[in-house]
Amino acid sequence: MFTGIIEAKGRVARLEPKGGDLRLLIETGDLSLADVQLGDSIATNGVCLTVVDLPGNGYWADVSGETLEHTTVGTWSTGQPVNLEKALTPTTRLGGHIVSGHVDGVGEVVERYSDARSERFTLRAPDALAKYIAHKGSITVDGTSLTVNQVDGAEFELNIVPHTLKWTIMDNYRPGTRVNLEVDVLARYLERLLLGDKAAESGGGLTLDFLAEHGFTRR
């Protein structure tokens, strides 16, 4: 588990295709690895990766086909900067929100403009994730815990202060940049709880008809 508070920026040092999936080396820059052991987790642009080797200046991780399919990892290139966060401990300040490192989908930056000392970003999420994104709710973008300012359909707006621009990779974002998105884990569990017994049915999902039938909305 993570908090979404980025600890350092690293970079992709090597990419090695391995029998249909991928092994990669991440150089960690200012992120101390003194307390990291083999098997530990490090969120890399929001993707929970398991450390399989520690060469000294970074870590190697294996990336499965599942992760390549549902995140931006398959588009990464050598030298690309990435956000880094080590797994939280019982004494970690929860400055962001609870982040699992399990990416829900890939979004896209639609617009960016300056607003005083901040930068405003509009992002588009996959349609299937729109229901989980709420005004003033939390969302993780490339591993960064952020607050949603506005929501319009599948698009949402973020206000990014100078500190976040400096210490994450967000200052590199331009319209068209693709990003890893993780919605608030509480929203995912709430959906399953609302389904009740129907959660055990194959193909069951939360629909407008279901909500109306159970008194949550009006047809």
Q: Confidence class of residue 173 from pLDDT cuts 50, 70 and 90?
A: very high
Q: Distances in Å between the alpha carbon of 139 and those of 49, 67, 194? A: 19, 19, 21
pLDDT in the model for residue 146 = 97
pLDDT for 74 equals 95
Q: Tokens standing for 169? A: 């990779």
pLDDT digits (tens, 9 = 90+) for 54-99: 998 999 999 999 999 999 999 999 999 999 999 998 877 778 888 9
Asked if 8-86 and 105-183 have one fold, the answer is yes
- 106/19: higher pLDDT: 106
| C-alpha torsion 131→104→158→147, nearest 10 | 80
For residue 179, give the 3-state DSSP assignment. strand
Which strand (E) or helix (H) includes residue 208? helix 208-213
By residue count, the chain amounts to 219
**What local confidence, expressed as pLDDT, does residue 156 receive?**
98
Q: Which of 119-128, 166-175, 179-188 has the lowest mean pLDDT?
A: 179-188
Alpha helices in 5-157 (DSSP H): 65-70
Domain 8-86 has CATH 3.40.50.300: no
- Per-domain boundaries in the chain: 8-86, 105-183, 185-219
**φ, ψ (nearest 5 deg) of residue 25:** -110, 125
Predicted structure pTM score: 0.88
Kind plus residue range of the DSSP H or E element containing 107 = strand 105-115
For the ranges 5-14, 48-57, 165-174, 202-211, which has the lowest average pLDDT? 202-211
Task: List phi, psi (to 5°) of 172.
Answer: -85, -10
CB 14 within 8 A of CB 25: yes
* Domain 105-183 CATH (choose: 3.40.950.10, 1.10.10.60, 2.40.30.20, 3.40.50.2000): 2.40.30.20
